[in-house]
């Protein structure tokens, strides 16, 4: 079965640089979520989309932005990178009905390292 695809899997950037992460949700899923997981931490909700419209925001820094495109893929843009942005970034997708019961399908994550 198709899963959530994230790219790149690993990314190394310098402080103050910009990074873009991509997510391709499972076909026919109408919701997309971005989570950030620091080392040894639990995943923290960043932002979500329903049918390409932003639906909710969590603890996402103003330096970060995200959007979902007409083909349903989503991108997370991070600017003015800081050392503390080093983390695993997960994208998840689901149907609205399943998401309402907490059932999300996570990708394998993109590991961002900021030097």
Partner 1 sequence: QQQVKQSPQSLIVQKGGISIINCAYENTAFDYFPWYQQFPGKGPALLIAIRPDVSEKKEGRFTISFNKSAKQFSLHIMDSQPGDSATYFCAALAGGTSYGKLTFGQGTILTVHP
Q: How far is the CB of 16 from partner 1 (least distance, A)?
A: 28
Residue with tokens 């695809």: 5
Task: Write the binding mask 12 to 41 for partner 1: x where contact by CB under 8 A, - elsewhere.
Answer: -------------------x-x-x-----x
Of 45, 65, 67, 79, the one binding partner 1 (CB under 8 A) is: 45
Take residue 110 and report the two structure tokens written for it: 């993109």
Q: What is the DSSP letter of 25?
A: P
List beta partners, residue 50.
Answer: 31, 53
Residues 58-87 that bind partner 1 (CB under 8 A): 58
CB of 95 to partner 1, least distance (A): 10
Of 81 and 94, which has the nearer Cβ to partner 1? 94
Bridge partner list, 78: 19, 64
Helix, strand, coil shares, percent, the chain, to 5: 5, 50, 45
Q: CA 104, 12, 43: angle at the middle one, nearest 5? A: 25
User: Smaller CB distance to partner 1: residue 44 or 79?
Assistant: 44
Interface residues toward partner 1, by CB under 8 A: 4, 31, 33, 35, 41-45, 48, 50, 55-56, 58, 90, 92, 94, 96, 99-109
């Amino acid at each position: 079965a198709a899963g959530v695809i994230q790219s790149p899997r690993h990314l190394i950037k310098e402080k103050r640089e910009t990074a873009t992460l991509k997510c391709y949700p499972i076909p026919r899923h109408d919701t997309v979520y971005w989570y950030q997981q620091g080392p040894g931490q639990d995943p923290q909700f960043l932002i979500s989309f329903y049918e390409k419209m932003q639906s909710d925001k969590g603890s996402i820094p103003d330096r970060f932005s995200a959007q979902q495109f007409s083909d349903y893929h989503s991108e997370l843009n991070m600017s003015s990178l800081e050392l503390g942005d080093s983390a695993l970034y997960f994208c998840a997708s689901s149907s609205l009905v399943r998401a309402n019961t907490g059932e999300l399908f996570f990708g394998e994550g993109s590991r961002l390292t900021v030097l």
